[in-house]
């Protein structure tokens, strides 16, 4: 009955296109197919009784506790106006250069990504703060929009990314299943920390690629990215920039350093980050009772959405496997022309296309658990696979017409910035993302070298 698993996946896609909530679409479709399967004798009786234990396993997962903590940290830093201070000081530091403000936006976007890990918050914040300033200084609307959208998506790949946390949990389970099917008696494990380490070098390369593109455009077409000031950089300007950067950088190093050095788990580091963000807000005198209430409400809503989708996806995955859909996927991959390369190419293409209609959380919880075990059984490195998925999902945020980053910016952009200008502006950055995926395909060490170095030490 493997074909029923494909029918179930197709039904979910149709239900989602009708606009129904993702979590309930996944769980509802799976439950209908499960009840019909048991009634017709296609499934083992009592299979549905395993659902409560799956839900309890999700709620009892200590790794996933890092999600609400990192969301709390990111929202707190956003409300403490740290991004505003960094952007202003960095703009003055690079203001004399053509394209200096655009480079500053990319740099601050990287720091916000490492501070919040939330794409929507970063794009909206940068759109409200930097887009009007860039337009006033004579920046080309397309270039300005592209920089903001692309910089905002860095939260997908630069730790502590929510995507990497979720991918780490999903890939850990998939890797164990793959090794179990291969008969490995002492299975290895992959952790969120491994993905954080693997994402560092690709993330930094992407940031420098963005900056290089902005500098190239400013060199070839100075009128599209003019200098914002002719004043010389003074010691006062440098000191102001350092003051705005020190606090968030110390917090980032504390969180990531404790994970990468093995001093703390991702959950423990997330708790440190949440407390540190609160302290920064208190020091800046930006924390009030009303603001703390807003932070808690946003954290609750975001975390609830993530966990509800995870529960729905877990139920869907259980029923999908009960219909032996995982065996069908394995058979298809092993018989695919091109072997590992062919299978990986198809998965990356499908993931990219699904990014047009599905959110990264849905793809992470629905698609990755289905295809990852089969790919890992073919000998693919789990860290490399995780980074490939993360960058692919990051690219989907930029792809017109349904890229979420584009919608976030459209919601806060001035009326004079057209949707066409936003779409046009992200095209070069999409090309940079695809080039990064190609480079990772030819040189996997870009993602795996750092984790392997840490392991050997």
**Domain of residue 16, residue span:** 2-456
Cα–Cα dist 283/293, whole Å:
18
DSSP states along 187-220 = -----HHHHHHHHHHHHHHHHHHHHHHHHHHHHH
Q: Hey, what are 6's tokens?
A: 């494909």
- What residue has token string 């609400």? 68
Tokens of 128: 């409200």
| Rounded CA Rg of the chain | 23
Please give the pLDDT value at position 226: 83
Instruction: Summarize pLDDT for 163-173 with one digit per residue, the tens.
Output: 888 888 888 88
Q: Is 141 within 8 Å of 363 (Cβ atoms)?
A: no
Please report how many Cα atoms fall inside a 13 Å half-sphere around the Cα of residue 271, on the Cβ side: 8
Q: Give per-residue pLDDT as tens, 134-184.
A: 888 888 889 988 998 888 888 788 887 778 888 888 888 888 888 887 777
CB-count exposure of residue 126 (10 Å: 0-12, 13-18, 19+): buried
Distance CA 22, CA 12 (A): 9
Element (H, E) at 364: none
Per-residue pLDDT at 115: 67
Question: What share of residues in the chain are helix, strand, coil (percent, to 5)?
Answer: 80, 0, 20
Q: Residue holding tokens 């200096």?
A: 100
CB count within 10 Å of CB 39 equals 10
Give the number of domains in the chain.
1
Query: pLDDT tens digits, residue range 82-119?
Result: 767 777 777 677 767 788 888 888 888 787 777 666 66
Task: Write out pLDDT tens, residues 22-74.
Answer: 788 888 888 888 888 888 877 777 667 777 877 887 777 777 788 788 788 87
| Token pair recorded at residue 329 | 């996927």
Numbers of helices and strands, H then E, in the chain: 21, 0
**Using one digit for the tens of pLDDT, what is the confidence trace for 223-233?**
888 876 666 66
Interval 329-353: pLDDT, tens: 777 777 777 778 888 888 888 888 7
């Amino acid at each position: 009955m493997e074909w029923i698993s494909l029918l179930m996946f197709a039904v979910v896609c149709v239900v989602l296109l009708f606009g129904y909530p993702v979590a309930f679409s996944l769980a509802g479709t799976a439950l209908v197919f499960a009840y019909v399967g048991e009634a017709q004798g296609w499934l083992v009786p009592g299979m549905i009784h395993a659902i409560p234990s799956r839900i309890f396993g999700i709620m009892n997962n200590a790794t996933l506790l890092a999600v609400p903590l990192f969301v709390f940290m990111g929202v707190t830093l956003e409300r403490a106006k740290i991004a505003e201070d960094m952007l202003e000081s960095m703009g003055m530091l690079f203001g004399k250069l053509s394209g200096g403000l655009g480079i500053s936006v990319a740099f601050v976007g990287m720091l916000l990504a490492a501070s919040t890990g939330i794409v929507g918050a970063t794009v909206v914040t940068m759109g409200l703060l930097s887009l009007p300033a860039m337009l006033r200084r004579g920046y080309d609307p397309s270039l300005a929009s592209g920089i903001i959208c692309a910089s905002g998506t860095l939260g997908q790949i630069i730790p502590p990314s929510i995507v990497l946390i979720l991918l780490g949990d999903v890939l850990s389970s998939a890797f164990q299943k793959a090794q179990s099917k291969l008969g490995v008696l002492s299975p290895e494990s992959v952790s969120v920390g491994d993905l954080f380490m693997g994402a560092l070098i690709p993330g930094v390369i992407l940031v420098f690629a963005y900056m290089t593109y902005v500098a190239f455009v400013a060199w070839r077409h100075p009128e599209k990215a003019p200098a914002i000031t002719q004043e010389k950089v003074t010691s006062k300007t440098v000191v102001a920039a350092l003051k705005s950067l020190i606090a968030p950088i110390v917090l980032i190093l504390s969180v990531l350093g404790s994970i990468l050095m093995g001093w703390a788990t991702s959950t423990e580091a997330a708790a440190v980050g949440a407390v540190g963000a609160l302290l920064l807000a208190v020091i800046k005198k930006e924390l009030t009772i009303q603001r703390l209430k807003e932070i808690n409400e946003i954290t609750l809503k975001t975390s609830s959405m993530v966990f509800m989708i995870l529960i729905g996806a877990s139920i869907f995955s259980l029923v999908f496997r009960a219909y032996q859909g995982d065996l069908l996927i394995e058979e298809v991959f092993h018989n695919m022309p091109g072997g590992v390369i062919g299978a990986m190419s198809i998965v990356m293409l499908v993931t990219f296309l699904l990014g047009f209609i599905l959110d990264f959380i849905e793809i992470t919880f629905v698609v990755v658990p289905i295809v990852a075990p089969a790919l890992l059984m073919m000998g693919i490195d789990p860290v490399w696979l995780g980074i490939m998925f993360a960058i692919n999902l990051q690219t989907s945020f930029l792809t017109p017409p349904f890229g979420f980053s584009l919608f976030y910016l459209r919601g806060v952009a001035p009326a004079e910035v057209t949707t066409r200008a936003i779409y046009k502006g992200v095209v070069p950055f999409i090309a940079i993302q695809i080039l990064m995926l190609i480079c990772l395909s030819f040189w996997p060490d870009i993602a795996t070298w750092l984790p392997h170095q840490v392991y050997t030490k």
